[in-house]
Structure 1
Amino acid sequence: MTGAVALLVSLSAVPAPLHAAESTAAPDYRQSTSARRCADRTAISFPVRSITDSENVLLDDGREYNIGILTAGLDDEAARSALQDLVGGRSISIFSPQKGEPIGVDRYGRLRGDAMVPATRGKERFSLQESLVARGLARVTFDRPLVCSLQALLKAEEEARRRKLGHWASGLFSVLDANDAAAVAAHIGQFAIVEGQLRRTSKSRKGLYLNFGRNWRSDVTIFVPARLLNPRQTKSQRGGRRPGGLTAPPFSKKAGNTISNLGLKLRALPRLRARGWLDHRAGPMIEIHNLEQIEKLH
């Protein structure tokens, strides 16, 4: 990974903090953005039989529902208690990823997707995911089925972090210094949110590398696969087989391969925040699967 590249990159702007009144109570999300954005999606109501753990709910028909956000662990008693308080003995409406599509199911057979819960008073609903994140008991992972609530969840997480609610106060949740590779390396194999000053970038046929140090062999790196840099590539251009059995190059090195939502030139080397599962590849690395996993900080 040598040399910076002149490449335009699409990075999500950091969500603006909510201007809620200062208190220890979590915000009320009955009038949530998620509820409005899910209005045109297919939804099915399921009575809740019991709470399996801090991230899974057993439904009355015997199927399991996974909430799609990360708590401090399946044995997180605070999150489990909050989940019990929010949905215990009630019904939840699970929404499909897109209009007209069925409810999402993961590889374990668990239902996935945004969930709305009937409010205690009146007919208004609130988002299960937003409620847990707003209490500081869960983090946003950019799970694809949660299409209604991603931006609302980021705002709720930012506010909970700013106000040090829940696990943000206890230290179970934290933002790691991406410029301190040794500290980040202690969390290999875990989900992490890292933040720091970008030091250099490099590009290969596989994708783009965003490095938070001068030495790529040991620094913290965010890897953006080529398929995200050039989403309009055909299957063969992403490395599939062409007629005759020839393998197409997965990523052209031409400067035209860009993603330019913000038109940010990486030579400006901004401060970034990124989230995902930490792996060890030379140094600590997060491979992203959704561009919104990277936020540009102001």
Structure 2
Amino acid sequence: MLKRLLVTSFLLAMPGVHPAFSQTCETLQAGPSGRVVAISDGDTLDLDTGLTVRLVGIQAPKLPLGREGFEAWPLGDEAKALITELTLGESVSLYYGGESRDRHGRALAHMLVDGDAGQVWVQEEMLRAGLARVYSFPDNRSCLEYLLAAEGQGRVERRGIWRDPYYAIRDAADPDSILERDGGYELVEGRVLNADRVGSRVYLNFGRYWKEDFTVVIETPGLRVFEQAGIDPLSFDNAVIRVRGWIDTLDGPRMLVTHPEQIEVLARP
């Protein structure tokens, strides 16, 4: 009962209807429609057509879903409850902005609930409620500026995950705290001490000791995407940025960046 009240409060606090989605994300291609009949977690649903949909552009807190030894992320149940409230039993329309299927055959789509008062953009609502983070790929980058804005609203208002230390934005100047998140999907903020090209890679260094300090790495495929977008990664030198991605510990804590939308510039020198 308490969880349902919490979910209802999220819905009441948000405007909900997205009256101009087609204008906001005009690059999207219309996909199939259907009715939501099952929910796996906060970003994966099944339609009555037999199609499984992975909501593109976001990542909700993960649940074990039968994976042995997998620990649920905080607020995973709350994320599932909200998306259930938004979509279960509802007619929905799918829109594609890039690669339309993943390796599991799931549709990678934006989802709109077709309500009497208008359409509700499910990804946007999950982000504004603080029950998902923006999560993107180089082959699926449509509408990210709007999703980042929705995430920012949830974060500023300290909704959902943004009250939980598990999802705290990490300080690039504290590499030990980032090391503790090895294998995790994280947001990290800090000033780039220097941006340097070495061979076929660009390194954004946040400290003087690259084997110990946090580093962002952009490899050749990613550099091509940056070039196509007209962005020179070396321009991040001395900028304060927020970067998102998976943490690994090859030569100290680092993050591999594959496309520009993983980096938000917060301040330039």
Q: Give the counterpart letter for 1:213 in structure 2.
A: G
Q: Aligned residue for 1:104?
A: 100
Q: Give the counterpart letter for 2:243 in structure 1.
A: A
d(CA) in 1 for partners of 2:234, 2:199: 21
Matched, 1:43 2:31: yes
Where structure 1 has 5 or more consecutive residues not aligned to the other structure, the ranges are: 1-23, 233-256
Pairing 1:139-288 to 2, within 5 Å after superposition: 139-143=133-137, 147-230=141-224, 260-261=230-231, 265-267=235-237, 269-288=238-257
Matched, 1:297 2:250: no
d(CA) in 1 for partners of 2:23, 2:123: 11
Evaluate the alpha carbon distance shift between residue 215 and residue 147 of structure 1 in structure 2; reply closer, same or farther with a 3 A threshold. Answer: closer
Deviations 1:17-57 (A, max 9, x none): xxxxxxx9234352355664247622210211111222211
Query: Partner of 2:78: helix, strand, or coil?
Result: helix
From the two aligned structures, give the one with the greater strand fraction. 2
Structure with the greater alpha carbon radius of gyration: 1
Q: Aligned residue for 1:71?
A: 60
**1:176–1:183 Cα contact (<8 Å) kept:** yes
C-alpha displacement of 1:226: 2.6
Evaluate the alpha carbon distance shift between residue 214 and residue 32 of structure 1 in structure 2; reply closer, same or farther with a 3 A threshold. Answer: farther
d(CA) in 2 for partners of 1:27, 1:144: 30
Q: TM-score, normalised by structure 2?
A: 0.81
d(CA) in 1 for partners of 2:13, 2:113: 19
Evaluate the alpha carbon distance shift between residue 111 and residue 188 of structure 1 in structure 2; reply closer, same or farther with a 3 A threshold. Answer: same
Q: TM-score, normalised by structure 1?
A: 0.74
d(CA) in 2 for partners of 1:274, 1:231: 16
Matched, 1:56 2:44: yes
From the two aligned structures, give the one with the greater helix fraction. 2
Deviations 1:105-160 (A, max 9, x none): 100111111111113x32x2121100100100000012356544211110011111
d(CA) in 2 for partners of 1:263, 1:284: 19
Aligned residues: 244
d(CA) in 2 for partners of 1:261, 1:192: 23
Kindly indicate whether structure 1 or structure 2 has the higher relative contact order, using CA contacts under 8 Å at least 6 residues apart: 1
d(CA) in 2 for partners of 1:41, 1:216: 43
Pairing 1:63-142 to 2, within 5 Å after superposition: 63-68=51-56, 69-74=58-63, 75=72, 76-97=76-97, 104-119=100-115, 121-122=116-117, 124-142=118-136
Evaluate the alpha carbon distance shift between residue 214 and residue 290 of structure 1 in structure 2; reply closer, same or farther with a 3 A threshold. Answer: same
Query: Partner of 2:29: helix, strand, or coil?
Result: coil
d(CA) in 2 for partners of 1:285, 1:277: 8
Where structure 2 has 5 or more consecutive residues not aligned to the other structure, the ranges are: 1-11, 64-71
Query: Partner of 2:133: helix, strand, or coil?
Result: coil
Q: Give the counterpart letter for 2:172 in structure 1.
A: A
**1:210–1:222 Cα contact (<8 Å) kept:** yes
Report the identity percentage.
27
C-alpha displacement of 1:289: 1.3
d(CA) in 1 for partners of 2:85, 2:139: 24
Q: Aligned residue for 1:7?
A: none
d(CA) in 2 for partners of 1:55, 1:293: 19
Query: Partner of 1:28: helix, strand, or coil?
Result: coil
Deviations 1:36-95 (A, max 9, x none): 424762221021111122221111122311113212212511000001001010122111
d(CA) in 2 for partners of 1:29, 1:145: 28
**CA-atom RMSD in angstroms:** 2.6
Higher mean Cα deviation, 65-74 or 175-184?
65-74
d(CA) in 1 for partners of 2:229, 2:32: 36
